């Protein structure tokens, strides 16, 4: 059945996903002759670069997320709906959602990426992804629950599993997360858990390749590893994860690690929606598009951001899955859609690489901007400044800034509440919320 939407004389652009790309595109179409329909399964935008700080108790979830309706406040040609798109019916020019079918003149897929477990369901079942706010909150609860459990655990193996934290994947997320857990160990545990033996708390960063931060400069790669090692993280390069049953992490040619907390940041894949010709899905599960972001084989279905991959002689592997690419593609597609109705020629997307950076911990970050590379305190302040500026919402900027100031001077992390059911089986735990448990039992 069709979803009732306000009528409009203008062609309808349906955007699936309120991430960096979708938001940029929708905003650029403000006051243009389009009816813009934005769909997202959440009612908020997530600032993914700071998810790891939510997961490690540094920030409130609410301060890195922003209500999508607020972003489009006053944009008369935009309609927002919380909806989950289940299928695309390209023949009918409509998308099938859980709140009804929605027809489109132009469809833009901006669904982003999700954790890639490379088909290993055992790891998928037992490890913690960190791609959404609920996942970050679940991880925060799990880390804290395992601290609490370790105090009452009498079995030695079980206890060490509770105190071994493993991050898989040496990209920015992995580096930042393992660094943040190392800071929890250094600054929070001694105060909160005087009974705990710090020597029993181990943080591992496991990476397949010989270096960390793959796409970054050798200087950044070396320095980040140095920083992490100083902070007590056991960096294990050239280490391949074979499996994880929730207790034992098995590695290729290496001794297994007992751990109740394995954080999976080893890869992402595009969140592709059923209904499209999947022959055009390329490396990383991304939708192959031309330089106008048009999905190969379709004339009015576009893809931007992480879910898309412009395969071109200049970019045989597409662009990196980072926010600036999504934002620039959103901006570029808006221009092309306007060109389209003005019968102007479409432009080719050109990515302007502003550089990349990753933070490791207090006063420790690495920055590459073109040929300029620097690491350490100044890099750290640069990282914080850039993230504060790109964070959506003035209130969020203030709250995050206050939290960072607070943490900087107090060496403390503000938010350490176990406030939600841990979503996997281990969630059936006395520390979870009664209503949740009741609810689960009642099913």
Q: What is the DSSP letter of 294?
A: B
Site string for its own copies, 96-125 (x = CB under 8 A): --xxx-------------------------
Q: Which residues contact 375 (CB under 8 A, 6 or more apart)?
A: 219, 220, 223, 224, 227, 364, 365, 366, 367
Please report how close the Cβ of residue 27 comes to its own copies at its closest, in angstroms.
Answer: 16
Measured CA to CA, the distance from residue 439 to residue 434 in angstroms comes to 8
Which listed range, 17-25, 131-139, 253-261, 276-284, lies at the site for its own copies (CB under 8 A)? Answer: 131-139
Q: Is 176 a catalytic site residue? A: yes
Interaction between residue 35 and its own copies (CB under 8 A): no
User: Exposure string (b/e) for 400-415, b if CB count within 10 Å is 16 or more?
Assistant: beebbeebeeeeebbb
**Chain centre to alpha carbon of residue 144:** 21
Residue 369 or 428 with smaller CB distance to its own copies? 428
Reference 110, options 170, 34, 5, 27; nearest CA is 27
Choice between 86 and 317, CB closer to its own copies: 86
**Is residue 139 part of the contact set for its own copies (CB under 8 A)?**
no
Q: What are the beta bridge partners of residue 369?
A: 372
Which of 24, 135, 207, 306 binds its own copies (CB under 8 A)? It is 135
Q: What's phi and psi for 135, nearest 5 deg? A: -65, -40
Active-site residue, selected from the candidate residues 24, 135, 176, 183: 176
Rg of the chain over CA atoms, in angstroms? 23
One of 60, 176, 207, 368 touching its own copies (CB under 8 A): 60
Contact pattern from residue 368 through residue 407 relative to its own copies, giving x for each residue in contact according to CB under 8 A and a dash for the rest: ---------------------------x--xx--xx--x-
CA angle 380, 44, 110 (to 5 degrees): 85
| Sites for its own copies among residues 246-285 (CB under 8 A) | none
3 makes contact with its own copies (CB under 8 A) = yes
Cβ closest to its own copies, residue 4 vs residue 199: 4
Whichever of 82 and 222 has its CB closer to its own copies, that residue is: 82
Helices 20-28 & 323-341, crossing angle to 10 degrees? 30
Distance from C-alpha of 227 to C-alpha of 413, rounded to nearest angstrom: 20
CB of 337 to its own copies, least distance (A): 23
Nearer CB in complex with its own copies: 37/206: 37
Residue 359: φ, ψ to 5°: -105, 145
Q: Binding its own copies by CB under 8 A: which of 67, 267, 284, 320?
A: 67
Considering the complex, what minimum distance in angstroms separates the CB of residue 372 from its own copies?
35
> Hey, which residues does 97 pair with through a beta bridge?
85, 100
Q: How far is the CB of 439 from its own copies (least distance, A)?
A: 5
CB of 77 within 8 A of CB of 5?
no
Judged by DSSP in three states, 354 sits in coil
Residue 198 is a binding residue for its own copies (CB under 8 A): no
**Smallest gap, in angstroms, from Cβ of residue 265 to its own copies?**
17
7 binds its own copies (CB under 8 A): no
Pick between residue 222 and residue 423 the one whose CB is nearest to its own copies.
423
Site for its own copies in 158-197 (CB under 8 A): 191-195
Instruction: Please give the biggest Cα pair distance in the chain.
Output: 73
CA pair distance 402, 405, nearest whole angstrom: 5
Report the catalytic residues. Answer: 176
């Amino acid at each position: 059945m069709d979803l009732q939407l306000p009528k409009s004389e203008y062609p309808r652009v349906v955007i699936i996903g309120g991430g960096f790309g979708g938001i940029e595109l929708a905003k650029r179409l403000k006051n243009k002759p389009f009816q813009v329909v934005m769909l997202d399964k959440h009612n908020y935008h997530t600032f993914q670069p700071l998810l790891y700080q939510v997961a490690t108790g540094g920030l409130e979830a609410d301060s890195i997320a922003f209500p999508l309706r607020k972003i489009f406040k006053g944009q008369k040609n935009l309609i927002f709906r919380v909806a989950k798109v289940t299928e695309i019916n390209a023949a009918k020019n409509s998308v099938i959602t859980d709140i009804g079918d929605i027809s489109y003149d132009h469809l833009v897929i901006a669904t982003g990426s999700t954790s890639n477990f490379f088909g290993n369901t055992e790891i998928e079942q037992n490890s913690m992804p960190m791609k959404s706010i609920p996942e970050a909150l679940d991880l925060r609860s799990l880390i804290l629950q395992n601290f609490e459990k370790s105090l009452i655990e009498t079995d030695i193996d079980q206890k060490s599993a509770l105190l071994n934290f493993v991050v898989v994947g040496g990209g920015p997320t992995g580096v930042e997360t393992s660094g943040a857990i190392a800071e929890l160990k250094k600054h929070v545990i001694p105060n909160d858990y005087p009974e705990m033996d710090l020597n029993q708390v181990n943080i591992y960063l496991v990476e397949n390749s010989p270096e960390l931060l793959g796409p970054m400069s050798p200087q950044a790669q070396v320095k980040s590893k140095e920083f992490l090692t100083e902070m007590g993280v056991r960096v294990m390069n050239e280490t391949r994860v074979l499996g994880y049953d929730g207790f034992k992490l098995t590695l290729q040619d290496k001794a297994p690690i007992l751990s109740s907390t394995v954080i999976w940041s080893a890869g992402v894949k595009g969140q592709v929606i059923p209904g499209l010709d999947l022959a055009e899905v390329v490396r990383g599960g991304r939708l192959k598009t031309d330089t106008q972001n048009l999905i190969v084989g379709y004339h009015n279905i576009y893809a931007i951001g992480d879910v898309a991959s412009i395969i071109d002689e200049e970019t045989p592997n597409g662009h990196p899955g980072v926010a600036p690419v999504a934002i620039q593609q959103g901006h570029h597609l808006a221009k092309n859609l306007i060109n389209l109705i003005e019968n102007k020629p479409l432009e080719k997307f050109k990515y302007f690489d502003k550089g990349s950076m990753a933070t490791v911990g207090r006063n420790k970050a690495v920055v590459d901007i073109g040929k300029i590379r620097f690491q350490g305190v100044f890099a750290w302040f640069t990282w914080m400044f850039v993230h504060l500026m790109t964070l959506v919402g003035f209130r969020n900027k203030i709250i995050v800034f206050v939290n960072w100031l607070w943490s900087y001077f107090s060496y403390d992390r503000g938010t350490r509440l176990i406030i939600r059911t841990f979503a996997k089986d281990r969630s059936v735990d006395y520390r979870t919320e009664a209503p949740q448990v009741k609810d689960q039992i009642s099913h």
